[in-house]
Amino acid sequence: MQGLLNFLTGLSVLLMVMVLVSVRRSHTRVEHSVSWLGAALALLVLARWRGLLDWLASTLGIGSPPMALLTLVGCVFLLVLFRLSTIISALKDANIALTQRIAILEFQIESVHEEGKSKN
Amino acid sequence: MDSLLILVPAFNEAAAIGRVVGEIHTVVPGVPVVVVDDCSKDATASIARAAGARVLRLPFHLGLGGAVQAGYRLAYELGFQYVIRVDGDGQHDPADIARVYEALRTNPCEMVIGSRFEDRAVSHSSFLRGLGIRFFRLVLRPILGKPVRDPTSGFVGVNRAALQVFSTSFPLEYPEIEALVVLQRKRFRFVEIPCLMRERMGGRSSITAVKSLYYIFHVLMGVFVNVLKYEGRRKRK
């Protein structure tokens, strides 16, 4: 059990560092890093606060604290992934609108050129 | 034909697009034809231009719904009153364009569907597709409040009111069935007229037997979401 908690502690710290480095290098936007930092912090708190973990395990009716930890971590990351899905969907909508806009603008430019040629 | 645009969405249809555009020019001379080239990898755009069509080239592949919506957006911005979609694979017979147009102008509706099943018109439809069509007829009947014989037909004419709606809200994948539900949300009406469907002139259908299951699930989800977005009863203007 302690080995697992130490591993998850290291993992959460590593995740935080990766997110901060990514934000610093502008590979990740600040508003998107909040979800990941929140998830990493939740993982760190649960890994280091044994009392809280035991209480949550008994409240949820999960006999094994490690199982409770993995369940809770899974739930946290599920929420993060769902949020990312909504962001990706919004980006896709914007991409489609831009693609159509570009095509229409090019069509209109072509029309203007053709009108200019026929007048000359 | 006042203010009518023929819209031809096409993706890798170099084998058929020249003939399709040529046939359209023959049956409805003088009517502008716009081929929406959905980022084809072949010579679809150049062949369409050579055949006399204007080409709306999408810089990225959006799929059928995205390509058709791009065409609707263009038509709306250019002020067209009616748009009739004819697919670039040659399945839709351009000889029926005039009848679709007449039905649009004379019927109190926003959309006309060229149906392969009205009046037992000869249909070229695979067994799986026929099964899917029967299934969606059952699903759509209670939603639309009336039967629709050919919900998957892409041979569709719309007026400007529908153009305005579709310019901002149009299903991106497998749009034919969901488009009916989008219209239903706005309390718009449609009619069906019998039309001939032919075999593809070239290329392959994007819906394979394996993709058919995904198609059914995807369209059912889309229909369900559109029903959830129903905007309630409105007074007709």
B74 shares contact with chain A (CB less than 8 Å): yes
Q: Which of B155 and B227 is assigned the larger pLDDT?
A: B155
Amino acid at the residue B2: D
Cα distance from N-terminal residue to C-terminal residue, chain B = 26
Q: Minimal Cα–Cα distance from B60 to chain A, Å?
A: 7
* pLDDT band at B118; cut points 50, 70, 90: low
Q: Which of B78 and B144 is assigned the larger pLDDT?
A: B78
Residue B106 covered by a domain:
yes
**Separation of alpha carbons B96 and B24, rounded Å:** 10
Q: Tokens standing for A61?
A: 């009716």
Q: What percent of chain B lies above the pLDDT cut of 70?
A: 87
Q: Which residues contact A18 (CB under 8 A, 6 or more apart)?
A: none
Residue B237 covered by a domain:
no
**Separation of alpha carbons A117 and B43, rounded Å:** 25
Identify the DSSP state of B27: H
Contact state of B74 with A107 under an 8 Å Cβ cutoff: yes
Residue pair A46/A69 in contact by the 8 Å Cβ criterion: yes
| Predicted local confidence at residue B121, as pLDDT | 46
Closest residue in A to B57 (Cα) is: A103
Contact state of A100 with B73 under an 8 Å Cβ cutoff: yes
Residue B235 covered by a domain:
no
| Predicted local confidence at residue A13, as pLDDT | 94
Q: Which residues contact B108 (CB under 8 A, 6 or more apart)?
A: B189
Contact state of A96 with B172 under an 8 Å Cβ cutoff: yes
Count: domains in chain B: 1
Instruction: Give yes or no for residue B117 having a pLDDT over 80.
Output: no
Q: What is the pLDDT of residues B34-88, one digit of tens each?
A: 999 999 999 999 999 999 999 999 999 999 999 999 999 999 999 999 999 999 8
| Predicted local confidence at residue B12, as pLDDT | 94
Unique residue bearing structure tokens 């046939």: B23
Of the candidates B189, B181, B186, the one whose C-alpha atom is nearest the C-alpha of residue B164 is B186
For helices A50-60 and A65-119, give the axis angle rounded to 10 degrees.
90
Q: What's the domain range around B97?
A: 4-228
CATH number of the domain that B186 lies in? Answer: 3.90.550.10
Instruction: Give yes or no for residue B236 having a pLDDT over 60.
Output: no
Of the candidates B91, B82, B141, the one whose C-alpha atom is nearest the C-alpha of residue B109 is B82
Contact state of A99 with B69 under an 8 Å Cβ cutoff: no
CA B26-B156-B82 angle, to 5 degrees, is: 75
Contact state of A95 with B60 under an 8 Å Cβ cutoff: yes
| Predicted local confidence at residue B1, as pLDDT | 58
Closest residue in B to A100 (Cα) is: B70
Q: What is the mean pLDDT of residues B199-209?
A: 63
Residue B236 covered by a domain:
no
**Separation of alpha carbons A75 and A65, rounded Å:** 15
Q: Tokens standing for B75?
A: 């038509």
Q: What are phi and psi of B143, to 5 degrees?
A: -75, -45
Residue B74 covered by a domain:
yes
Q: What is the mean pLDDT of residues B224-232?
A: 71
In the sheet that holds B82-85, the strands lie side by side as B54-57, B33-37, B4-10, B82-85, B156-159, B111-115, B190-194
Report CA-CA distances (Å) from B16 to A70, B48, B152: 56, 10, 21
The domain segmentation of chain A, as residue ranges, is 2-119
Contact state of A103 with B57 under an 8 Å Cβ cutoff: yes
**Separation of alpha carbons B222 and B228, rounded Å:** 10
**Separation of alpha carbons A117 and B71, rounded Å:** 25
Low-confidence ranges of chain A (pLDDT < 70): none
Instruction: Give yes or no for residue B201 having a pLDDT over 70.
Output: no
| Predicted local confidence at residue B122, as pLDDT | 47
B contacts of A112 (beta carbons < 8 Å) = none
Q: Which of B156 and B227 is assigned the larger pLDDT?
A: B156
Pairing of strands B111-115, B156-159: antiparallel
Residue B56 covered by a domain:
yes
| Predicted local confidence at residue B66, as pLDDT | 94
**Separation of alpha carbons A96 and A5, rounded Å:** 45
B79 shares contact with chain A (CB less than 8 Å): no
Contact state of B57 with A95 under an 8 Å Cβ cutoff: no
| Predicted local confidence at residue B200, as pLDDT | 67
**Separation of alpha carbons B155 and A37, rounded Å:** 51
Of the candidates B137, B91, B115, B103, the one whose C-alpha atom is nearest the C-alpha of residue B194 is B115
Q: What is the pLDDT of residues B163-190, one digit of tens each?
A: 999 998 888 877 888 888 888 888 889 9
Closest residue in B to A107 (Cα) is: B56
| Predicted local confidence at residue B237, as pLDDT | 45
| Predicted local confidence at residue B223, as pLDDT | 82
Q: A102: how many CB neighbours lie within 10 A of its CB?
A: 15
ipTM of the complex: 0.77
Residue pair B205/B122 in contact by the 8 Å Cβ criterion: no
**Separation of alpha carbons A98 and A84, rounded Å:** 21
Pairing of strands B111-115, B82-85: unpaired
| Predicted local confidence at residue B129, as pLDDT | 72
Best residue in A92, A98, A99 to probe B by mutation, most B CBs within 10 Å?
A99
Residue B26 covered by a domain:
yes
| Predicted local confidence at residue B235, as pLDDT | 46
Closest residue in A to B76 (Cα) is: A104
Q: What is the mean pLDDT of residues B100-119?
A: 87
Q: What is the pLDDT of residues B9-19, one digit of tens each?
A: 999 999 999 99
A contacts of B57 (beta carbons < 8 Å) = 103, 106-107
| Predicted local confidence at residue B2, as pLDDT | 65
A contacts of B53 (beta carbons < 8 Å) = none
| Predicted local confidence at residue B100, as pLDDT | 94
Give the B window 43-72 contacts with A, CB below 8 Å.
54-60, 62, 66, 69-70
Regarding pTM above 0.90, the answer is no
Q: What is the mean pLDDT of chain B?
A: 85
